[in-house]
Each structure stands twice: as structure tokens, then as C-alpha cells.
Amino acid sequence: MTILPVIPTSPDQPDAVPTRRRPSMPPRHLADLDLAARKTAVAGLGEPAFRAKQLSTHYFGRLVRDAAAMTDLPSATRDKLATELLPTLLTPVREQACDDGATRKTLWRLHDGALVESVLMGYPDRVTACVSSQAGCGMACPFCATGQQGLTRNLSVAEIVDQVVYLAGVAASGAVTGSPPRLSRVVFMGMGEPLANYPRVIEAVRRLTTPAPEGLGLSQRHITVSTVGLVPAMRRLIAEQLSVTLALSLHAPDDDLRDELVPVNQRWKVAEVLDAAFDYAAQTGRRVSIEYALIRDVNDQPWRADLLGRLLHGKLAHVNLIPLNPTPGSKWDASPKPVEREFVRRLREAGVSTTVRDTRGREIDGACGQLAAGELTQAGAAGVAADAEVAQ
């Protein structure tokens, strides 16, 4: 594991110990607005409308997030636009790398002191950003580190988009060795339940997929929204007619166990949630991804594999098995490899396409379900902030 120096991205870097303030939404940012709204905002500041496109080209086209680097703007204009449209939303507290530099986790402090994390993962053929949609999470899944902290607040559209633009900039700098320099995929598998922050997540998806300079120009198919299974929001997503990939965190094929592992199941049952997922697949023609964290002696029995196989047989679905990442203080552990292999074998025998997810970022607590910035104590955070100052 490598602790990377925190590089200041704007003049208003933290100069004090992070303090916990009342959670509040951040100021407006360019990435909250579509191009038409940016033009209106720029005009409201007494600037010609073309500045909206100029700013957008810097931010979305060239991945420049700091107005000071936009040297083709007259300095007075630059200061005004920076204050009004490019406020600092994310302040890096700590960056860590592992997997020989192919995985990097960034811990961010938001304007109100809330902490969230993003992970960048490089592969030979692609680079993926794993982003947070909320600070904390209200879904309370007992095996998930973020689920243990409760919800602090929703992230704004720009707080979500800015994580991706930052990570795209890291990729473009060639920092992810052995991977292409272009960030191509985004997964909403960081902190939070994306469908519980529905309008902002959808707006962020639109911003990420609109061609530059209005947006980042990613393909909708390369964006994955992962959910615990909030059925009404899944149905709303079907109506959006987007072609993003839907991942459903199932983790158990029976209501008895799922009620415990994914407490929202007490409201929307396995049959109902799978129906919504299958309808999404039918509407979009895109295979849904069924996420299943294998937990030793909890959900890894052969009969559960067979039941899952029966539920998914003949459906447009793929099972993504995740070896459980034990979280601190948890009584649960990953399933032994032979048990995992038997689970895979049974699913495949039932005709269900199944893969086991690789476990990136474990060493830096950056793997699935391990993002738990809120667990940082005040003392710990102060230490980190002090380090960050030294690094400057």
C-alpha cells in the first residue's frame, strides 16, 4: 500500500482540523447545470454567454477543475466565475494506492465536513471509477461498512460528477499504469444508495453521458447503478429509458435471510424486486447484474445456489459473486474457495451466467462495501489533515 501525497487542487485548501458541521448541501457548481442553465448563470454574472461553453470545455473537455489553470480567461472574469461556478466541492484528505498502482482510493472532505470516498480501478482494457452518491447510507445492511454509519446526507449532482471528473483527470495523467488513459466506466458502488438520491443521481448520469463540452461523453451502457432494490425507484428508472446497467444487490434468494442481510427487503420482497429487475432488463435489453456477496455459512449453501438458479433461469441476468470483505467488528467472513466454486458450478448448471468479482483495493479498504470514511475518528482525521498540510 502506498500513501500518496495529497496534491492541492485549489487555493482554498484545508488549513485547519476538519470540523463536523451540520450537514448541508454545497454551493452551486457548473456541473449542477446543463449548458442552457450555465449560459443563464454566466449572463447573470454580467459575462457573455460564450463563457459558459469556454468553462465547460475546460471542465468536461480538458478535465481542468481549477479556475486558476484556465489562463485564456481574463483574471477578473476568472475569479468571478471561479467563485460563482467552480466552488471547491471536494477537498482531498488522503489518497492511497495498491495493486501496483492499479487501484487508488481518495478520501474527500465535503464543504460541511462530511467524508466520502471514490476508487479508481485500472484494467488492461479499461479504467473504472467507483463513486459515492451519499455521505453514509441509510440502508443498514449489516455486512457493509457504510451501512453501519447511517445516512449523513445526499450528495449534490456536482459532488457526484466532480468525483468522476477528478478521477478521469488522474487517468488522463497516465497515473494508472498498464491501463488506457481514458476513463470509460463509472459504477455507483461507492458509499450510499444511489436510488435513495434518485433525482440527483439521474441528473449526474445525464451529465456524465452528454457529449462534451456539456458533459463528459461517457456511454450510458458503461455506467452501472447499483441498488439494494428500492422497487418504486427501479420502476421510475425503467421509465427514464436510459440504457445504464442495473445492478441489484440481492445477497439471498429467500426472504427470511434477505430480510436480515438487506433490511429494505422487509418492505420489498425478493419476488417483487426481481420482477422489477427483470422488467428493467426487458425494457432496456440489457442484462441485469445480480450482486451476491458470499458469506461463510450464511448465504453460501448449495440449496441457496439452486434456489437462485431457479429464480434466474432463462432471465436476462448475470450473477456477480463477491467474496465478502469482512468489515471491522463483523462476525461474518468470506466463504471458503471450495464452497464458492460449488456455488458457481450450481448456478452455471442451472444455465445462469456467473462470475466471481475480483477483489480490488482490499489492502486499502477500498473494496466493495469497505468504504467507511465516517469511521475516521476526529483525532485520526486531524492527523491526516496535518499530514496533508505537510505534503503541501
Chain residues that interact with ligand SAH, rule: CB under 6 A? 139, 141, 143-144, 189, 193, 226-228, 249, 291, 293, 322, 324-325, 327, 368-369
- Which residue's entry shows cell 457504510? 146
Q: Please, what is the minimum distance in Å from the beta carbon of residue 140 to ligand SAH?
A: 11
Q: Please, what is the minimum distance in Å from the beta carbon of residue 224 to ligand SAH?
A: 10
Does the annotation flag 226 for ligand binding?
Answer: yes
- Which residue's entry shows cell 498498464? 178
Does the annotation flag 251 for ligand binding?
Answer: yes
Q: Which of 98, 130, 203, 368 is catalytic?
A: 368
Is 368 known to be catalytic?
A: yes
Question: What is residue 168's DSSP assignment?
Answer: H
- In the bound state, the residue with its beta carbon closest to ligand SAH is 369
Of the two residues 162 and 291, which places its CB atom closer to ligand SAH in the complex? Answer: 291
Residue 378 CB burial class (10 angstroms; 0-12, 13-18, ≥19): exposed
Of the two residues 329 and 338, which places its CB atom closer to ligand SAH in the complex? Answer: 329
Does the annotation flag 141 for ligand binding?
Answer: yes
Q: Please, what is the minimum distance in Å from the beta carbon of residue 391 to ligand SAH?
A: 30
Of the two residues 369 and 374, which places its CB atom closer to ligand SAH in the complex? Answer: 369
Please report the sign of the dihedral spanned by the C-alpha atoms of residue 275, residue 278, residue 280, residue 282. negative
Of the two residues 248 and 384, which places its CB atom closer to ligand SAH in the complex? Answer: 248
Q: Which of 117, 203, 214, 291 is catalytic?
A: 117
Buried b (16+ CB within 10 A) or exposed e, 187-220: bbbbbbbbbbbbebbbbbbbbbbbeebbbbebee
Q: Please, what is the minimum distance in Å from the beta carbon of residue 78 to ligand SAH?
A: 38
Q: Please, what is the minimum distance in Å from the beta carbon of residue 160 to ligand SAH?
A: 13
Which residues contact residue 358 at a Cβ distance below 8 angstroms, ignoring those fewer than 6 apart? none
Of the two residues 62 and 357, which places its CB atom closer to ligand SAH in the complex? Answer: 357
Does the annotation flag 325 for ligand binding?
Answer: yes
d(C-alpha 293, C-alpha 209), whole Å: 29
Residue 185 neighbours by CB distance under 10 Å: 18
Sequence-ordered alpha helix ranges (H) in the chain: 35-44, 50-56, 75-85, 157-172, 198-209, 231-240, 255-261, 270-284, 302-312, 337-349, 378-391
Q: What's the one-letter identity of residue 253? A: P
Cβ-contact 261, 143 below 8 angstroms: yes
Question: What is residue 146's DSSP assignment?
Answer: G
Element (H, E) at 227: strand 223-227
Q: Please, what is the minimum distance in Å from the beta carbon of residue 143 to ligand SAH?
A: 5
Biggest CA pair distance of the chain: 68
Please report the sign of the dihedral spanned by the C-alpha atoms of residue 324, residue 3, residue 17, residue 166. negative
Does the annotation flag 250 for ligand binding?
Answer: yes
Does the annotation flag 144 for ligand binding?
Answer: yes
Of the two residues 33 and 242, which places its CB atom closer to ligand SAH in the complex? Answer: 242
Residue 299 neighbours by CB distance under 10 Å: 26
d(C-alpha 231, C-alpha 27), whole Å: 31
3 state DSSP class of 82: helix
Of the two residues 81 and 322, which places its CB atom closer to ligand SAH in the complex? Answer: 322
Q: Which residues are annotated as a binding site?
A: 137, 141, 144, 192-193, 226, 249-251, 325
Q: Which residues are annotated as a binding site for [4Fe-4S] cluster?
A: 137, 141, 144
Catalytic residues: 117, 368
